Amino acid sequence: MSNSIIREKLPKHIAIIMDGNGRWARERGEDRLFGHMRGVESVRNVVESAAELGVQYLTLYAFSTENWLRPQQEVSGLMELLVSTIRKEVPMMQKNKIRLRVIGATDLLPEKVQEELFEAVDETKSNDRLQLVLALSYSSRWEITRAARLLACDVANRTVHPDDIDESVFSKYLCTYDIPDPELMIRTSGEARLSNFLLFQLAYTELYFTPLHWPDFRKEHLYDAILHYQQRERRFGKTGEQVSSEKSG
């Protein structure tokens, strides 16, 4: 199936909402943490596949600010799983020249998680094949509110004039200030909503929803999503005729 993908039309940035770990586990009579553990296998498979294809940025919605409201036992288990996973996957990231980055309110993460996370970020900072962005303790409303606060401070300090504020200026205050907006967003498990994920950045992103739970998602499903993306016409507000004329010109 990878041979059917047009490399020249490969999305530079893919974002994924990894949904359905708990439901996958429940269907098998297991607890939710078992589903999260199996979901790690999907992460590894998809990350390596994206790197092989030539995707430049892959953002994974790993833990939202709302997820802190889940049962304490599940949250604690997730944090322990995160620490062990980061430690285990650094060699894979180094081998595949993958740079790890993180966005979100990381100060809310347990100290041990922060230590492992930022050690991995530092170790992989020179890698240039794929940038893997983990959205941890993240929500888009938190990010936009934070950006507005930072921008307001600069206006108050007179380093930014209100008349100069446009989308480009505002985007510089987002966590993704140096990352291109995703061209493709994938959500697993059959839900068709954005769940407070990259709301500003997804304005013109192609959305792809699949009924597969995340632990069942593998590289062939990533390929399928990319093929669907490549069949769509991206107009950005223009007419189809305008887009066709620009391509032919």
Q: Which of 3, 31, 45, 67 is catalytic?
A: 67
**Catalytic residue check, 19:** yes
Bridge pairing between strands 57-64 and 130-138: parallel
Residues 6 or more apart whose Cβ sits within 8 Å of residue 222: 14, 46, 49, 50, 186
Helix (H) or strand (E) holding 65: none
Is 163 tagged catalytic?
Answer: no
DSSP lists the bridge partners of residue 13 as: 57
Q: Which residues pair with 185 in a beta bridge?
A: 15, 207
Q: Which two tokens stand for residue 198?
A: 């990259």
Q: Which segments of the chain does DSSP mark as H helices, in order?
A: 21-27, 32-53, 72-95, 111-123, 140-156, 167-171, 219-230, 240-248
Catalytic machinery residues: 19, 67
